[in-house]
A and B are shown apart, each in its own frame.
Chain A
Amino acid sequence: MAKTPTPAELLPGLSYKPPEKGWMDVKPDFRPGTYCNPASPKWMDWISYPYAQPRSIPDDNWGLPQDWKEIVLQGMEDRLERFRSLKVFFDICVRCGACADKCHFFLGTGDPKNMPVLRAELLRSVYRRYFKTIGRALGEIAGARDLTEDVIKEWFFYLYQCTICRRCSLFCPYGIDMAEMTLLGRELLASVGLNIDWAMASVAQCYDKGSHIGAPPQAFKDMIDFLAEENERITGITTPVSYNRKGAEVLFVMPSGDYFADPGTFTMMGYLLLFEHIGLDYTLSTYAAEGGNFGWFISHEMGKRLNAKIYAEAKRLGVKWILGGECGHMWRVCNQYMSTWWGPVDFLEKPVSPITGTRFENAAVHKMVHISEFTADLIHHGKLNLDPQRNAHIKLTFHDSCNTARGMGILEEPRYIINNVLPEGNFVEMPPNTIREKAFCCGSSSGINANENMELRMQGGFPRANAVRFVADKYGVNHLGCICALDRATLPTLLQYWVPEVEVTGITELVGNALIFPDEMERTTDLRDRDLVGFGEAEEAGEEEE
């Protein structure tokens, strides 16, 4: 009979000191809740991705193709030639450890392999073994190791525990970009049939029907028309929507989360109110119905395939330039990749605000402006009639979305908008080491906002939630603002676990709340049908007296 363990004996670190194992000998523990399901062959077939077959993570056999090793090594060689950055990132790291404790997944899981330096080493060790003389000769002594199925499994586990947020890169003295390594590592996994279902389903739907949620054009129109009706019900203002209209000045592209999922829908209502307020000559495309791009989370090639429709629709509709909604990774893809993939974009004009005349020089090449840049410019020129008191029930803090803030430097614009649509004193910043360039990631981006890996997501988002909780406790913050649809999809869940008293909102929703129209109804609620503070109370008091 086995001896019943004491509490201390249940914890390996306390009951005995296990012999020091090198990191290469520690295998990942595929505990349910910590990994994403492998992609269904159905989705992979839709987009002609190779080696589609049913797979299960707990199975020993992951159904890799016979020549998987050659495919991966050839893929690595190709990428080392194509991306000099990858070779530099592999060679230059001195293991100083500056990045080690900067990853939200390390801070949440406590797993040392989520230290970016070690996550990179998972790939780097194979690079050394097959592409460096010293690694070929000395093997493990030189930090090199053979490529085995176990290594592939480890890649799958940890490369999908990186949200390509780049916080680690900020602290790296060499600027090594873990995000790029993760993306290229995921490409290698995809080349032997290993993808995650949540991202792949979204990609296939988007490729086939136009949006991640798989809404056909009719459903897209139907849903946005409904949100326009909601605007009319709440504000009395008609916000007619224009679809596929040739000759419009601006094509507006937003992530699908904004027209199907709350609280994004309220941001969508805010866009429509804003455009009506300024009389913008815009149109939506039922084909470029998705600004987000889960393809980029799988491979650069798939990112390009999904992105194609944005310029194609801009060209077909003959617009002058493109305006983008509140989305994080869409913004990085559109700014950093789109014009490289498809340029030169000579069929569009350099974006100029038709309301203020501002020329968006920063968008001169790719011809796309972010809604926060556009709105901040409108406010700066006094073009919006705003009543911040309509947001008096909202005590806000702001989450800098990794792609817009750290990736693209959109730091001041959302804050400028917030300060103009909220009463003074209703905006509170989180501590400096958790915002702006140093913002902690939501923990669920880059295609891993699946349901089956919820424990992992809650761990990854813990540092973010911890800072939100601080301002909620100290200042009574009740809303977390963001300009990213993935944030709007995932932060409510994160906060439900860690800080349930705080809700999530897009910034254009707050603009929509605050906009004053000349012929509007008396406003007593916000766009979510919640009572406004100090509006309609006099009337109610009068009724009571009668």
Chain B
Amino acid sequence: MQLATLLSQKKAAILGRWLTMIYESYPPETAIFLQKEKNRFDNPAGYRISEGLEGLYGALLQEMERDQVLTCLDEIIRIRALQNFAPSQAMAFIFLLKNVIRQELAEEIRKENLAADLLDLESRIDGLALLGFDVFTKRREKIYEIKADEAKRRISGLMRKTGLSEDGLL
């Protein structure tokens, strides 16, 4: 059996465990809430993170356009880039998938001799992480961009009055 088939068969278990590990990076009370509340509007972080993870898992199982992969990464990273995490902590979730797969599929990998497939998959997870760094950097840059734009907007009416466009002032 191929690793890809196993990943499809065990998708629910692997995704569930991956998600739980991410939730556990939050304080215990928060982790319980993120796990428990299923309404997407009452639990926006839980919803967006789980959506993003599902997309990323799909990207590992089948071909996906790079933009789509970046969108899935962004779902999660734009939340964690704001929260109380060091960059390494914010991004660690991608690598956690390796732990989950090694644990969930340990027996099958050994029995079916899928070590080579596993190495290939782990390289692709590394690739996801590298793309994740692009997304993380963009999100941090975005914060500085919106700060600057807001500062300009505060006097934008005045700037229009004096005939200066936002670009003209800069």
Interface positions of A (Cβ within 8 A of B): 6-8, 10-14, 29, 31, 33-34, 100-101, 106-112, 115, 213, 222-223, 226-227, 259-262, 264-265, 431, 433-434, 451, 454-455, 458-459, 462-463, 466-467, 470, 489-490, 492-493, 496-498
Closest to A462 in B: B44
- Bound together, the chains give a CA A112 to CA B98 distance in angstroms of 29
B39 and A493 contact, CB distance less than 8 A: no
Contact A458 to B82, CB < 8 A, known contacts A7-B95, A11-B25, A433-B42: yes
- Bound together, the chains give a CA A454 to CA B94 distance in angstroms of 26
- Bound together, the chains give a CA A462 to CA B45 distance in angstroms of 8
Q: Does residue B156 face the partner (Cβ distance < 8 Å to A)?
A: yes
- Bound together, the chains give a CA A108 to CA B83 distance in angstroms of 8
Choose from B30, B92, B149 the contact partner of A111 (Cβ within 8 Å).
B30
A454 and B29 contact, CB distance less than 8 A: no
A451 and B151 contact, CB distance less than 8 A: yes
- Among A31, A34, A260, find the residue whose CB has the most chain B CB atoms closer than 10 A: A260
A110 and B143 contact, CB distance less than 8 A: no
B82 and A455 contact, CB distance less than 8 A: yes
Closest to A215 in B: B158
Q: Which residues of A contact B34 (CB under 8 A)?
A: 110
Choose from A31, A115, A467, A497 the contact partner of B143 (Cβ within 8 Å).
A497
- Bound together, the chains give a CA A497 to CA B33 distance in angstroms of 25
Told that A7-B96, A108-B44, A470-B41 touch, could you supply 4 new A-B pairs with CB distance under 8 A?
Answer: A108-B82, A110-B27, A463-B41, A496-B149
Q: Which residues of B contact A13 (CB under 8 A)?
A: 24-28, 31
Dominant SS at the A interface?
helix
A261 and B146 contact, CB distance less than 8 A: no
- Bound together, the chains give a CA A433 to CA B83 distance in angstroms of 24
* Tally of B interface residues using CB under 8 Å: 51
- Bound together, the chains give a CA A258 to CA B15 distance in angstroms of 48
Q: Does residue B142 face the partner (Cβ distance < 8 Å to A)?
A: yes
- Among B25, B27, B41, find the residue whose CB has the most chain A CB atoms closer than 10 A: B41
- Among A100, A110, A112, A462, find the residue whose CB has the most chain B CB atoms closer than 10 A: A110
Closest to B95 in A: A7
Q: Which residues of B contact A100 (CB under 8 A)?
A: 29, 33
A451 and B150 contact, CB distance less than 8 A: yes
Choose from A112, A223, A462, A492 the contact partner of B161 (Cβ within 8 Å).
A223
A107 and B45 contact, CB distance less than 8 A: yes
A110 and B146 contact, CB distance less than 8 A: no
Q: Which residues of B contact A12 (CB under 8 A)?
A: 25
Q: Which residues of B contact A490 (CB under 8 A)?
A: 150
B116-170 interface (Cβ within 8 A of A) = 142-143, 145-147, 149-151, 153-158, 160-161
Q: Which residues of B contact A431 (CB under 8 A)?
A: 41
Q: Which residues of A contact B147 (CB under 8 A)?
A: 451, 454
B157 and A262 contact, CB distance less than 8 A: yes
Closest to A456 in B: B82
A260 and B142 contact, CB distance less than 8 A: no
A489 and B146 contact, CB distance less than 8 A: no
A433 and B41 contact, CB distance less than 8 A: yes
Contact A497 to B41, CB < 8 A, known contacts A14-B21, A115-B29, A260-B155: no
B82 and A459 contact, CB distance less than 8 A: yes
- Bound together, the chains give a CA A97 to CA B21 distance in angstroms of 25
8 A–B contact pairs at CB < 8 A? Answer: A7-B98, A109-B83, A109-B84, A111-B84, A226-B161, A265-B157, A463-B44, A466-B48
Q: Does residue B108 face the partner (Cβ distance < 8 Å to A)?
A: no
- Bound together, the chains give a CA A8 to CA B21 distance in angstroms of 9
B156 and A497 contact, CB distance less than 8 A: no
- Among B37, B145, B153, find the residue whose CB has the most chain A CB atoms closer than 10 A: B153
- Bound together, the chains give a CA A447 to CA B86 distance in angstroms of 28
Q: Does residue B43 face the partner (Cβ distance < 8 Å to A)?
A: yes
B27 and A112 contact, CB distance less than 8 A: yes
Q: How far is the CB of A474 from chain B (nearest CB, A)?
A: 12
